[in-house]
């Protein structure tokens, strides 16, 4: 960490909240330690994990900059606690079951140096499924006009610590999910945009009991919270938001119609099949 100051280079603080994730936390930490950008520190926040996870974290502790232990207070709080103790001017938040490719920080820092209007940076994503299947996902990034519709980035992004502080950090009341999206809305609310590196430099695990899966079970409550909290933004972009919602409803209704018609065809085909068989003998 001191070396970054000697070289007058910005320090990147990688903050990794961890809750009961003994299987993947090592790979997450390793990806942070193996970044080709040399001026980094790695902070892990143990958010009240079980004993098995604590054992893994104890083994990792000598390799990282700092291990912070607290009672379980949720991912938003864990991120805020880690960022408060971070020494870097730039923050990279990383979930304990995901990991970045080695060149992410180097390429992200280059973009930050080239464009002051960038508020956050992430990349294309390799989605990793439990059955071994992989899938490429490309977030769209963009300005507030994009983010009022949906989360146009990923849960793990790089941003300036100053901007995090200016908007009040992550909302610690949001313990059920979507807290990253809500935070991003505040980041780009007054201007700037999210930049997406057009390479799959982020690896995201799709798990049955992931935070995203749990959030989707209460997504309407979470959406209501976000819409109400940012009523001023949605009012300012009222027509854009209404057009988007109507398009979404129309698409969903079309999808349901197609699914119903396919189902009716299959049922009709199955019912009529015996009669066609009998008719072939009558001929």
Asked, for residue 241, whether it belongs to a domain, the answer is no
Q: Which residue has the higher pLDDT, 273 or 190?
A: 190
How many domains, in total, are found in the chain? Answer: 1
Whether 142 and 135 have beta carbons less than 8 Å apart is answered as no
Asked, for residue 247, whether it belongs to a domain, the answer is no
Domain of residue 134 covers 2-208
The mean per-residue pLDDT over the stretch 94-118 comes to 98
The mean per-residue pLDDT over the stretch 108-118 comes to 98
pTM for the complete prediction?
A: 0.86
Cα 165 to Cα 42, 122, 168, 183, 260, distances in angstroms: 19, 19, 5, 11, 50
The mean per-residue pLDDT over the stretch 199-227 comes to 86
Predicted pLDDT at 255: 76
Predicted pLDDT at 6: 47
- Helix then strand count (H, E) for the chain reads 12, 9
Residue 30 burial (10 A CB sphere; 0-12, 13-18, 19+): middle
Residue 119 burial (10 A CB sphere; 0-12, 13-18, 19+): buried
CATH code, 106: 3.90.550.10
Tokens (6 digits) for 218: 């209460």
Asked, for residue 17, whether it belongs to a domain, the answer is yes
Predicted pLDDT at 266: 66
The mean per-residue pLDDT over the stretch 13-42 comes to 97
Q: What percent of the chain has pLDDT over 90?
A: 80
Query: What is the per-residue pLDDT across 172-191, written as a single tens digit (0 to 9) for each?
Result: 999 999 999 999 999 999 99
CA–CA dist 41, 26 (Å, integer): 16
Q: Which of 8, 73, 32 is nearest to 158 (CA)?
A: 32
Asked, for residue 277, whether it belongs to a domain, the answer is no
Asked, for residue 62, whether it belongs to a domain, the answer is yes
Q: Which of 85, 92, 99 is nearest to 34 (CA)?
A: 99
* Mean pLDDT, the chain, whole residue set: 91
Asked, for residue 244, whether it belongs to a domain, the answer is no
Asked, for residue 54, whether it belongs to a domain, the answer is yes
Asked, for residue 217, whether it belongs to a domain, the answer is no
Read off the pLDDT band of 277 (50, 70, 90).
low
């Amino acid at each position: 960490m001191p070396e970054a100051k000697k070289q007058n280079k910005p320090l990147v603080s990688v903050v990794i909240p961890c809750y009961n994730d003994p299987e993947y936390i090592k790979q997450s930490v390793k990806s942070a330690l193996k970044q080709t950008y040399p001026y980094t520190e790695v902070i892990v926040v143990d958010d009240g994990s079980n004993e098995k996870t604590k054992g893994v974290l104890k083994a990792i502790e000598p390799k990282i900059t700092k291990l912070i232990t607290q009672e379980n207070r949720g991912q938003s709080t864990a991120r805020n606690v880690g960022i408060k103790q971070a020494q870097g001017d730039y923050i990279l938040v990383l979930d304990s079951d995901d990991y970045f490719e080695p060149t992410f920080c180097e390429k992200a820092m280059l973009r930050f140096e080239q464009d002051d209007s960038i508020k956050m940076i992430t990349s294309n994503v390799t989605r990793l499924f439990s059955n071994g299947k992989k899938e490429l996902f490309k977030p769209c990034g963009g300005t507030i006009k994009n983010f009022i519709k949906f989360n146009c980035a990923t849960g793990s992004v790089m941003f300036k610590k100053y901007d995090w502080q200016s908007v009040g950090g992550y909302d610690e009341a949001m313990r059920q999910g979507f807290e990253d999206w809500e935070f991003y809305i505040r980041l780009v609310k007054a201007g700037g945009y999210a930049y997406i590196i057009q390479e799959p430099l982020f690896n995201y695990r799709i798990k049955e009991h992931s935070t995203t899966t749990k959030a989707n079970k209460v997504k309407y409550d979470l959406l209501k919270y976000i819409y109400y909290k940012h009523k001023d933004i949605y009012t300012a972009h009222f027509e854009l938001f209404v057009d988007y919602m109507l398009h979404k409803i129309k698409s969903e209704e079309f999808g349901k119609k197609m699914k119903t018609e396919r189902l009716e065809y299959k049922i009709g085909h199955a019912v009529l099949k015996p009669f066609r068989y009998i008719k072939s003998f009558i001929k």
